[in-house]
Amino acid sequence: MKPHWLVGLALLPVGYVARKLRNDPQFGAGLTEMKEDDYEGTVAWKMGRFRNLDKTRLQEDLRSLLGDLMGYLKAKNTQPSAPLPVAVANGLDRPDPQHDYITWYGHSAVRLETGGKTILIDPMLGEWVAPVPFLGHRFPYKEYHPLEQLGDIDLILFSHDHYDHLDYDTLMALKDRTHAYLVPLGIGAHLRAWGVDPDKITEIDWWKTVEHGGLTVTATPARHFSGRSPSTRNKTLWCGFVLQTAHHRIFFGGDSGYGRHFAQIGERFGPFDLTLLDSGQYHDRWKNVHMQPEEALRANRELGGRRLLPIHWGGFSLSDHPWYDPVQRILAADSSQCVITPLIGQRVDVSDFSTCRQRWWEDEGLLREKQ
Protein backbone atom coordinates (compact mmCIF):
# COMPACT_ATOMS: atom_id res chain seq x y z
CA MET A 1 0.00 0.00 0.00
CA LYS A 2 1.23 3.45 -0.88
CA PRO A 3 2.02 5.91 1.95
CA HIS A 4 -0.93 8.17 1.12
CA TRP A 5 -3.28 5.22 1.68
CA LEU A 6 -1.81 4.63 5.13
CA VAL A 7 -2.25 8.29 6.00
CA GLY A 8 -5.79 8.19 4.61
CA LEU A 9 -6.75 5.18 6.71
CA ALA A 10 -5.34 6.78 9.82
CA LEU A 11 -7.24 10.01 9.22
CA LEU A 12 -10.49 8.38 8.08
CA PRO A 13 -12.16 8.23 11.54
CA VAL A 14 -11.14 11.81 12.28
CA GLY A 15 -12.43 13.11 8.96
CA TYR A 16 -15.65 11.11 9.23
CA VAL A 17 -16.47 12.40 12.72
CA ALA A 18 -15.58 15.98 11.78
CA ARG A 19 -17.91 15.92 8.79
CA LYS A 20 -20.67 14.27 10.79
CA LEU A 21 -20.45 16.89 13.51
CA ARG A 22 -20.88 19.70 11.01
CA ASN A 23 -23.72 17.89 9.21
CA ASP A 24 -21.88 17.64 5.92
CA PRO A 25 -24.42 17.19 3.09
CA GLN A 26 -22.37 14.32 1.62
CA PHE A 27 -24.05 11.94 4.07
CA GLY A 28 -27.52 12.64 2.70
CA ALA A 29 -30.66 12.09 4.74
CA GLY A 30 -30.36 10.93 8.34
CA LEU A 31 -32.29 8.30 10.20
CA THR A 32 -34.91 10.83 11.34
CA GLU A 33 -35.87 11.71 7.76
CA MET A 34 -35.87 8.06 6.72
CA LYS A 35 -38.23 7.09 9.53
CA GLU A 36 -40.85 9.33 7.96
CA ASP A 37 -41.47 6.65 5.31
CA ASP A 38 -43.25 3.36 6.01
CA TYR A 39 -42.46 0.41 3.73
CA GLU A 40 -44.59 -2.25 5.41
CA GLY A 41 -46.01 -4.58 2.78
CA THR A 42 -43.24 -4.02 0.25
CA VAL A 43 -41.21 -6.93 -1.12
CA ALA A 44 -37.87 -6.56 0.67
CA TRP A 45 -38.80 -4.72 3.89
CA LYS A 46 -38.61 -6.94 6.99
CA MET A 47 -38.37 -5.95 10.66
CA GLY A 48 -37.42 -2.35 9.96
CA ARG A 49 -34.78 -2.96 7.28
CA PHE A 50 -34.50 -4.00 3.66
CA ARG A 51 -33.29 -7.58 3.12
CA ASN A 52 -31.99 -9.69 0.22
CA LEU A 53 -33.82 -12.63 -1.32
CA ASP A 54 -30.89 -14.89 -0.40
CA LYS A 55 -29.33 -14.91 3.04
CA THR A 56 -26.40 -12.51 2.70
CA ARG A 57 -23.75 -12.47 5.39
CA LEU A 58 -21.21 -9.66 5.54
CA GLN A 59 -17.96 -10.41 7.36
CA GLU A 60 -17.34 -7.25 9.34
CA ASP A 61 -15.56 -8.59 12.42
CA LEU A 62 -12.28 -7.03 13.53
CA ARG A 63 -10.21 -9.98 12.31
CA SER A 64 -11.64 -9.68 8.80
CA LEU A 65 -11.10 -5.93 8.71
CA LEU A 66 -7.49 -6.32 9.83
CA GLY A 67 -7.04 -8.99 7.16
CA ASP A 68 -8.31 -6.49 4.58
CA LEU A 69 -5.78 -3.95 5.79
CA MET A 70 -2.94 -6.43 5.41
CA GLY A 71 -4.18 -7.25 1.93
CA TYR A 72 -4.14 -3.59 0.97
CA LEU A 73 -0.65 -3.21 2.38
CA LYS A 74 0.61 -6.03 0.16
CA ALA A 75 -1.45 -5.17 -2.92
CA LYS A 76 0.34 -4.25 -6.12
CA ASN A 77 -0.74 -2.53 -9.32
CA THR A 78 -4.06 -1.37 -7.94
CA GLN A 79 -3.66 1.93 -9.82
CA PRO A 80 -2.85 2.46 -13.52
CA SER A 81 0.75 3.44 -14.12
CA ALA A 82 -0.31 6.06 -16.69
CA PRO A 83 -3.52 7.95 -17.52
CA LEU A 84 -6.18 5.75 -19.10
CA PRO A 85 -7.27 6.51 -22.69
CA VAL A 86 -10.70 8.06 -23.11
CA ALA A 87 -12.95 8.41 -26.15
CA VAL A 88 -14.19 11.99 -26.14
CA ALA A 89 -17.64 12.38 -27.69
CA ASN A 90 -19.84 15.42 -28.10
CA GLY A 91 -22.70 14.74 -25.73
CA LEU A 92 -24.45 18.06 -26.21
CA ASP A 93 -26.20 16.95 -29.41
CA ARG A 94 -29.75 15.67 -28.93
CA PRO A 95 -29.87 11.87 -29.17
CA ASP A 96 -30.94 10.22 -32.40
CA PRO A 97 -34.49 8.89 -31.72
CA GLN A 98 -33.97 6.02 -34.18
CA HIS A 99 -31.00 4.52 -32.33
CA ASP A 100 -30.02 3.45 -28.83
CA TYR A 101 -26.54 4.41 -27.65
CA ILE A 102 -24.62 3.38 -24.53
CA THR A 103 -21.68 5.31 -23.07
CA TRP A 104 -19.67 3.91 -20.14
CA TYR A 105 -17.85 6.51 -18.03
CA GLY A 106 -15.82 4.07 -15.92
CA HIS A 107 -16.88 2.21 -12.77
CA SER A 108 -20.71 1.89 -13.05
CA ALA A 109 -21.63 5.26 -14.55
CA VAL A 110 -23.56 4.89 -17.81
CA ARG A 111 -25.45 7.08 -20.25
CA LEU A 112 -28.29 5.62 -22.32
CA GLU A 113 -29.63 7.59 -25.26
CA THR A 114 -32.95 6.29 -26.48
CA GLY A 115 -36.04 7.72 -28.16
CA GLY A 116 -34.42 11.12 -28.38
CA LYS A 117 -33.87 11.23 -24.60
CA THR A 118 -30.81 11.09 -22.34
CA ILE A 119 -30.82 8.81 -19.31
CA LEU A 120 -28.00 8.54 -16.78
CA ILE A 121 -27.54 5.47 -14.59
CA ASP A 122 -25.49 5.68 -11.38
CA PRO A 123 -23.68 8.80 -12.65
CA MET A 124 -20.73 8.88 -10.28
CA LEU A 125 -18.69 11.41 -12.28
CA GLY A 126 -16.84 12.97 -9.36
CA GLU A 127 -13.33 12.42 -8.01
CA TRP A 128 -13.82 10.68 -4.65
CA VAL A 129 -15.85 7.65 -3.54
CA ALA A 130 -15.81 8.29 0.20
CA PRO A 131 -17.41 10.78 2.60
CA VAL A 132 -13.94 12.17 3.28
CA PRO A 133 -11.86 13.55 0.38
CA PHE A 134 -8.66 11.55 0.64
CA LEU A 135 -9.70 7.94 -0.03
CA GLY A 136 -10.89 6.37 -3.26
CA HIS A 137 -9.60 8.89 -5.79
CA ARG A 138 -10.53 8.37 -9.42
CA PHE A 139 -7.93 6.82 -11.73
CA PRO A 140 -6.05 9.31 -13.91
CA TYR A 141 -7.62 9.72 -17.37
CA LYS A 142 -6.11 11.39 -20.42
CA GLU A 143 -9.24 13.41 -21.13
CA TYR A 144 -12.25 13.33 -18.85
CA HIS A 145 -14.89 16.06 -18.74
CA PRO A 146 -18.25 14.24 -18.88
CA LEU A 147 -20.14 16.90 -16.95
CA GLU A 148 -19.17 19.45 -19.60
CA GLN A 149 -20.34 17.10 -22.36
CA LEU A 150 -23.81 16.62 -20.92
CA GLY A 151 -26.73 18.91 -21.68
CA ASP A 152 -30.22 18.41 -20.28
CA ILE A 153 -30.86 15.05 -18.62
CA ASP A 154 -34.32 13.57 -19.04
CA LEU A 155 -33.99 10.92 -16.33
CA ILE A 156 -31.45 9.76 -13.75
CA LEU A 157 -31.59 6.26 -12.25
CA PHE A 158 -29.75 5.35 -9.05
CA SER A 159 -29.42 1.67 -8.15
CA HIS A 160 -28.49 2.27 -4.49
CA ASP A 161 -27.08 4.94 -2.19
CA HIS A 162 -23.39 4.00 -1.80
CA TYR A 163 -20.91 6.78 -2.51
CA ASP A 164 -19.50 5.16 -5.65
CA HIS A 165 -22.98 5.17 -7.25
CA LEU A 166 -24.92 8.06 -5.72
CA ASP A 167 -22.49 10.97 -5.79
CA TYR A 168 -23.46 14.22 -4.11
CA ASP A 169 -21.14 16.44 -6.19
CA THR A 170 -22.37 14.97 -9.48
CA LEU A 171 -26.00 15.30 -8.45
CA MET A 172 -25.54 18.94 -7.48
CA ALA A 173 -23.82 19.68 -10.80
CA LEU A 174 -26.69 18.11 -12.75
CA LYS A 175 -29.65 18.98 -10.53
CA ASP A 176 -30.81 22.09 -12.41
CA ARG A 177 -30.74 20.31 -15.79
CA THR A 178 -32.33 17.01 -14.74
CA HIS A 179 -36.05 16.58 -15.33
CA ALA A 180 -36.80 13.38 -13.36
CA TYR A 181 -35.31 10.76 -11.02
CA LEU A 182 -36.25 7.11 -10.65
CA VAL A 183 -34.81 5.39 -7.57
CA PRO A 184 -35.44 2.38 -5.31
CA LEU A 185 -37.43 2.88 -2.11
CA GLY A 186 -35.91 5.25 0.43
CA ILE A 187 -33.40 7.04 -1.76
CA GLY A 188 -35.85 9.87 -2.32
CA ALA A 189 -35.01 11.02 1.22
CA HIS A 190 -31.42 11.72 0.16
CA LEU A 191 -32.51 13.60 -2.95
CA ARG A 192 -34.99 15.72 -1.02
CA ALA A 193 -32.30 16.50 1.57
CA TRP A 194 -30.15 17.81 -1.29
CA GLY A 195 -32.87 20.11 -2.59
CA VAL A 196 -34.33 18.05 -5.43
CA ASP A 197 -37.98 18.91 -6.13
CA PRO A 198 -40.05 16.02 -4.65
CA ASP A 199 -42.30 16.13 -7.74
CA LYS A 200 -39.34 14.99 -9.84
CA ILE A 201 -38.72 11.87 -7.74
CA THR A 202 -40.32 8.46 -8.26
CA GLU A 203 -39.45 5.66 -5.82
CA ILE A 204 -39.94 2.07 -6.91
CA ASP A 205 -40.00 -1.38 -5.30
CA TRP A 206 -38.59 -4.63 -6.70
CA TRP A 207 -40.60 -5.97 -9.67
CA LYS A 208 -42.49 -2.69 -10.13
CA THR A 209 -42.56 -1.00 -13.54
CA VAL A 210 -42.62 2.68 -14.54
CA GLU A 211 -43.09 4.19 -18.00
CA HIS A 212 -41.09 7.31 -18.78
CA GLY A 213 -41.20 8.97 -22.18
CA GLY A 214 -41.27 5.74 -24.18
CA LEU A 215 -38.82 3.92 -21.89
CA THR A 216 -40.16 1.13 -19.66
CA VAL A 217 -38.14 0.61 -16.46
CA THR A 218 -38.59 -2.27 -14.02
CA ALA A 219 -36.69 -2.42 -10.74
CA THR A 220 -35.38 -5.90 -9.99
CA PRO A 221 -33.79 -7.56 -6.96
CA ALA A 222 -30.04 -7.34 -6.44
CA ARG A 223 -27.94 -8.97 -3.71
CA HIS A 224 -26.27 -6.13 -1.90
CA PHE A 225 -26.82 -3.65 0.97
CA SER A 226 -27.14 0.11 1.47
CA GLY A 227 -26.31 3.03 3.73
CA ARG A 228 -24.20 6.20 3.67
CA SER A 229 -23.47 5.99 7.42
CA PRO A 230 -23.74 3.23 10.03
CA SER A 231 -27.07 4.54 11.33
CA THR A 232 -28.75 4.21 7.92
CA ARG A 233 -27.53 0.70 7.00
CA ASN A 234 -30.19 -1.03 4.87
CA LYS A 235 -32.74 1.74 5.39
CA THR A 236 -32.88 2.27 1.61
CA LEU A 237 -33.42 -0.36 -1.07
CA TRP A 238 -30.93 -1.50 -3.73
CA CYS A 239 -31.86 -2.83 -7.16
CA GLY A 240 -31.06 -3.55 -10.79
CA PHE A 241 -33.03 -2.19 -13.74
CA VAL A 242 -34.67 -3.77 -16.79
CA LEU A 243 -34.73 -1.11 -19.52
CA GLN A 244 -37.09 -1.72 -22.43
CA THR A 245 -36.66 0.78 -25.26
CA ALA A 246 -38.44 0.84 -28.60
CA HIS A 247 -35.55 -1.15 -30.08
CA HIS A 248 -33.76 -3.11 -27.35
CA ARG A 249 -33.99 -4.78 -23.96
CA ILE A 250 -31.12 -3.88 -21.62
CA PHE A 251 -30.33 -4.99 -18.08
CA PHE A 252 -28.31 -2.92 -15.61
CA GLY A 253 -27.44 -5.01 -12.56
CA GLY A 254 -26.14 -2.34 -10.17
CA ASP A 255 -24.02 -3.83 -7.39
CA SER A 256 -24.88 -7.46 -6.73
CA GLY A 257 -23.44 -10.71 -5.57
CA TYR A 258 -24.44 -13.79 -7.52
CA GLY A 259 -27.84 -15.20 -6.54
CA ARG A 260 -31.05 -16.82 -7.70
CA HIS A 261 -32.50 -13.47 -8.72
CA PHE A 262 -30.63 -13.52 -12.03
CA ALA A 263 -32.46 -16.64 -13.21
CA GLN A 264 -35.75 -15.13 -12.05
CA ILE A 265 -35.09 -11.92 -13.97
CA GLY A 266 -34.11 -13.90 -17.07
CA GLU A 267 -37.32 -15.92 -16.90
CA ARG A 268 -39.51 -12.85 -16.50
CA PHE A 269 -37.81 -10.39 -18.83
CA GLY A 270 -35.09 -12.08 -20.88
CA PRO A 271 -33.46 -12.40 -23.24
CA PHE A 272 -31.47 -9.16 -23.25
CA ASP A 273 -29.58 -7.47 -26.06
CA LEU A 274 -27.11 -6.13 -23.51
CA THR A 275 -26.38 -6.67 -19.81
CA LEU A 276 -24.21 -4.44 -17.64
CA LEU A 277 -23.01 -6.44 -14.63
CA ASP A 278 -20.89 -5.88 -11.53
CA SER A 279 -17.53 -7.48 -12.36
CA GLY A 280 -14.90 -5.64 -10.35
CA GLN A 281 -13.80 -4.49 -6.88
CA TYR A 282 -14.33 -8.01 -5.58
CA HIS A 283 -12.86 -9.62 -2.49
CA ASP A 284 -13.36 -12.98 -0.78
CA ARG A 285 -15.00 -11.21 2.17
CA TRP A 286 -17.47 -9.50 -0.15
CA LYS A 287 -18.38 -12.58 -2.22
CA ASN A 288 -22.04 -12.30 -1.23
CA VAL A 289 -22.44 -8.70 -2.40
CA HIS A 290 -20.07 -8.42 -5.40
CA MET A 291 -19.52 -10.90 -8.21
CA GLN A 292 -16.27 -12.40 -9.36
CA PRO A 293 -15.84 -11.92 -13.14
CA GLU A 294 -16.65 -15.58 -13.84
CA GLU A 295 -19.89 -15.24 -11.84
CA ALA A 296 -20.90 -12.26 -13.98
CA LEU A 297 -20.62 -14.51 -17.05
CA ARG A 298 -22.83 -17.08 -15.35
CA ALA A 299 -25.37 -14.39 -14.45
CA ASN A 300 -25.34 -13.16 -18.05
CA ARG A 301 -26.16 -16.67 -19.29
CA GLU A 302 -29.06 -16.96 -16.86
CA LEU A 303 -30.34 -13.55 -17.91
CA GLY A 304 -30.17 -14.55 -21.57
CA GLY A 305 -27.72 -11.76 -22.35
CA ARG A 306 -26.44 -11.50 -25.92
CA ARG A 307 -23.66 -9.10 -24.95
CA LEU A 308 -22.12 -8.30 -21.55
CA LEU A 309 -20.48 -5.00 -20.63
CA PRO A 310 -18.48 -5.46 -17.40
CA ILE A 311 -18.96 -2.55 -14.99
CA HIS A 312 -17.72 -1.62 -11.49
CA TRP A 313 -14.11 -1.40 -12.66
CA GLY A 314 -11.90 1.10 -14.51
CA GLY A 315 -12.67 4.03 -12.20
CA PHE A 316 -11.48 3.48 -8.65
CA SER A 317 -9.40 1.08 -6.56
CA LEU A 318 -11.74 -0.22 -3.86
CA SER A 319 -10.20 -3.66 -3.41
CA ASP A 320 -6.73 -5.22 -3.44
CA HIS A 321 -6.71 -6.80 -6.90
CA PRO A 322 -4.80 -5.26 -9.84
CA TRP A 323 -6.88 -2.56 -11.48
CA TYR A 324 -7.09 -4.45 -14.80
CA ASP A 325 -7.77 -7.88 -13.23
CA PRO A 326 -11.58 -7.78 -13.74
CA VAL A 327 -11.44 -7.38 -17.51
CA GLN A 328 -8.54 -9.77 -17.96
CA ARG A 329 -10.31 -12.50 -15.98
CA ILE A 330 -13.70 -12.08 -17.63
CA LEU A 331 -12.21 -12.20 -21.12
CA ALA A 332 -10.18 -15.30 -20.25
CA ALA A 333 -13.38 -17.05 -19.14
CA ASP A 334 -15.55 -15.76 -22.01
CA SER A 335 -15.87 -18.88 -24.18
CA SER A 336 -18.95 -17.49 -25.96
CA GLN A 337 -17.27 -14.18 -26.95
CA CYS A 338 -20.10 -12.15 -25.44
CA VAL A 339 -18.01 -9.57 -23.53
CA ILE A 340 -17.60 -6.10 -24.99
CA THR A 341 -14.89 -3.69 -23.86
CA PRO A 342 -15.60 -0.10 -24.93
CA LEU A 343 -13.24 2.70 -24.07
CA ILE A 344 -14.26 4.96 -21.23
CA GLY A 345 -16.45 7.62 -22.83
CA GLN A 346 -16.97 5.68 -26.07
CA ARG A 347 -20.48 6.16 -27.52
CA VAL A 348 -21.65 2.78 -28.80
CA ASP A 349 -24.68 1.88 -30.92
CA VAL A 350 -26.50 -0.94 -29.09
CA SER A 351 -27.18 -2.53 -32.49
CA ASP A 352 -23.49 -2.71 -33.37
CA PHE A 353 -20.74 -3.67 -30.91
CA SER A 354 -18.08 -4.33 -33.55
CA THR A 355 -15.95 -1.42 -32.30
CA CYS A 356 -15.83 -2.73 -28.69
CA ARG A 357 -13.25 -5.49 -28.94
CA GLN A 358 -10.00 -3.59 -28.49
CA ARG A 359 -7.88 -4.42 -25.42
CA TRP A 360 -7.21 -0.76 -24.64
CA TRP A 361 -6.03 -1.43 -21.04
CA GLU A 362 -2.96 -3.16 -22.52
CA ASP A 363 -1.78 0.05 -24.17
CA GLU A 364 1.87 0.91 -23.75
CA GLY A 365 2.69 1.59 -20.12
CA LEU A 366 -0.73 0.98 -18.58
CA LEU A 367 0.06 -2.40 -17.04
CA ARG A 368 3.50 -1.50 -15.79
CA GLU A 369 3.56 -1.24 -12.03
CA LYS A 370 4.58 2.09 -10.55
CA GLN A 371 7.90 1.95 -8.79
- Domain boundaries along the sequence of the chain: 3-362
Find out if CATH 1.10.8.60 is the number for domain 3-362: no
Give 43 or 277, the one with higher predicted confidence.
Answer: 277
CA distances from residue 361 to 92, 181, 271 in whole angstroms, order as listed: 27, 33, 30
The whole-number average pLDDT for the span 298-322 is 96
Percent of the chain at pLDDT > 90 equals 66
Name the least confident of 73-82, 238-247, 259-268, 340-349: 73-82
pLDDT band at 367 (very low <50, low <70, confident <90, very high): confident
Name the least confident of 101-115, 125-139, 331-345: 125-139
Q: How far apart are the first and last CA of the chain?
A: 12
CA distances from residue 37 to 10, 27, 186, 365 in whole angstroms, order as listed: 36, 18, 8, 51
Cβ-proximal residues to 153 (8 Å cutoff; 6+ apart), any chain: 118, 119, 120, 174, 177, 178, 179
User: Cβ-count burial of 266 within 10 angstroms (0-12 exposed, 13-18 middle, 19+ buried)?
Assistant: buried
Asked if residue 3 has pLDDT above 70, the reply is: no
Name the least confident of 115-119, 253-257, 281-285: 281-285
Q: Tens digit of pLDDT for each residue in 285-304?
A: 889 999 999 999 999 999 99
Nearest to 115 by CA among 367, 350, 371, 368: 350
pLDDT value at residue 371: 43
pLDDT band at 163 (very low <50, low <70, confident <90, very high): very high
User: Cβ-count burial of 115 within 10 angstroms (0-12 exposed, 13-18 middle, 19+ buried)?
Assistant: buried
Q: Tens digit of pLDDT for each residue in 185-195?
A: 999 999 999 99
pLDDT value at residue 97: 84
The whole-number average pLDDT for the span 60-74 is 64
pTM: 0.92
Which residues, listed in sequence order, are joined to residue 84 by a DSSP beta bridge? 141
